[in-house]
């Protein structure tokens, strides 16, 4: 079984994916490293631009009959059995990405992506089995316990549980609405 753990940068994908893999006894696969190992994509500045179809081919070919937790913000676009979309309050995303040294533009892009459900909407286009998890104010252990509980109960689809629109005013300072010098 291939389980994809996806979401906006800063939601906790890597921590949760590694812990989930350990608890299940599955192999952990970092999708970015997997792409580089298979020569998929090319570096543009500091970002790896990936050809999704080519990467999906390699995932299908190399991982199909294995028990794997696939970690990456594109993993929901891969041929997998179950997608876990991690969500976090966009303000929390903004703060985490600031701590990581992301540019204002990248912070704004990712905060907006979380606000408008980009990863979830993409996953819905590609997959039937999607579980959405709000990670805000939860430890990685609590998140993994929630995932395992849902899977053990046979729940394969749970979406629509997160709505950040009521927090728009809190999120506004992280959005780049009028230019580079709008927020510091």
Beta-strand runs (E) in the chain: 2-6, 27-30, 42-44, 47-49, 68-71, 82-87, 130-134
- How do 27-30 and 68-71 pair as beta strands? parallel
In a domain, 104, yes or no: yes
How far is 120 from 102, CA to CA, in rounded Å?
Answer: 23
In a domain, 179, yes or no: no
Provide φ and ψ at 134, rounded to 5°.
Answer: -85, 115
pTM: 0.91
How far is 119 from 92, CA to CA, in rounded Å?
Answer: 17
In a domain, 183, yes or no: no
In a domain, 35, yes or no: yes
CB 144 within 8 Å of CB 152: no
Residues spanned by the domain of 107: 2-174
The three-class DSSP label of residue 141 is helix
In a domain, 111, yes or no: yes
- Tens digits of residue pLDDT in 30-82: 999 999 999 898 777 777 788 899 999 999 999 999 999 999 999 999 999 99
Here the CATH number for the domain that contains residue 108 is 3.40.50.300
CB 156 within 8 Å of CB 82: yes
In a domain, 62, yes or no: yes
In a domain, 90, yes or no: yes
In a domain, 180, yes or no: no
Structural domain count of the chain: 1
CB 31 within 8 Å of CB 43: no
For residue 178, pLDDT beyond 70: no
**Residue among 143, 6, 134, 153 nearest 69 (CA):** 6
Task: State the pLDDT at residue 71.
Answer: 98
């Amino acid at each position: 079984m291939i389980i994809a753990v996806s979401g906006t940068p800063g939601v906790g994908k890597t921590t949760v994916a590694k812990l989930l893999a350990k608890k299940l006894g599955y192999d952990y696969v970092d999708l970015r490293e997997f792409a580089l190992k298979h020569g998929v994509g090319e570096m543009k500045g500091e970002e790896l631009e990936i050809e999704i179809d080519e990467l999906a081919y390699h995932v299908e070919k190399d991982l199909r009959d294995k028990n794997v937790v696939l970690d990456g913000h594109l993993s929901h676009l891969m041929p997998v059995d179950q997608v876990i979309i991690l969500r976090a309050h966009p303000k929390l995303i903004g703060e985490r990405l600031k701590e990581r040294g992301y540019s204002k533009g990248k912070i704004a892009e990712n905060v907006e992506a979380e606000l408008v459900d980009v990863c979830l909407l993409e996953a819905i286009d590609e997959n039937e089995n999607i579980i959405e998890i709000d990670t805000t104010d939860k430890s990685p252990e609590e998140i993994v316990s929630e995932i395992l509980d849902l899977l053990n109960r046979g729940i394969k689809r749970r979406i629509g549980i997160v709505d950040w629109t009521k927090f728009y005013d809190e999120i506004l300072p992280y959005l780049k609405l009028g230019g580079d010098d709008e927020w510091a």
